[in-house]
Amino acid sequence: MESLSRFGEKISGIPVPRNKPLVGEYAFADQSDAHVAAQLREPFAFQGIRPEVVGNRRRFVIGKHSGPNILRHKFGSWAWR
């Protein structure tokens, strides 16, 4: 699905919006610490499909709602010594 969106983007010259459902850059992104913790335990907790099915990927973004779970995931255990 993503390759079709990218093809349409290429021939039309109109970029795919970052927040476009399923194929946008932010479609499977999350920064909420509670959401990140739940998704690390159970990937389908907040997203009903696997991002890979539509050619996308899951992203955990550091932002104002981030907490220890995302930091631990992003930086590994070395950050907590």
Annotated active-site residue 65? The verdict is no
**With contact defined as beta carbons under 8 Å apart, do 8 and 43 qualify?**
no
> Average of pLDDT values for 10-18?
91
The pTM assigned to this predicted structure is: 0.69
Note whether 60 and 31 are within 8 A (CB): yes
Give every CB contact of residue 28 below 8 A, 6+ residues apart in sequence. 47, 51, 56, 57, 58, 59
Query: Domain holding 73: CATH number?
Result: 4.10.430.20
User: Domains in the chain: how many in total?
Assistant: 1
Catalytic residue among 2, 16, 31, 35: 35
* Domain range enclosing 41: 2-80
Q: Residues 29-75: pLDDT tens digits?
A: 888 888 888 888 888 888 888 888 888 898 888 888 888 888 888 88
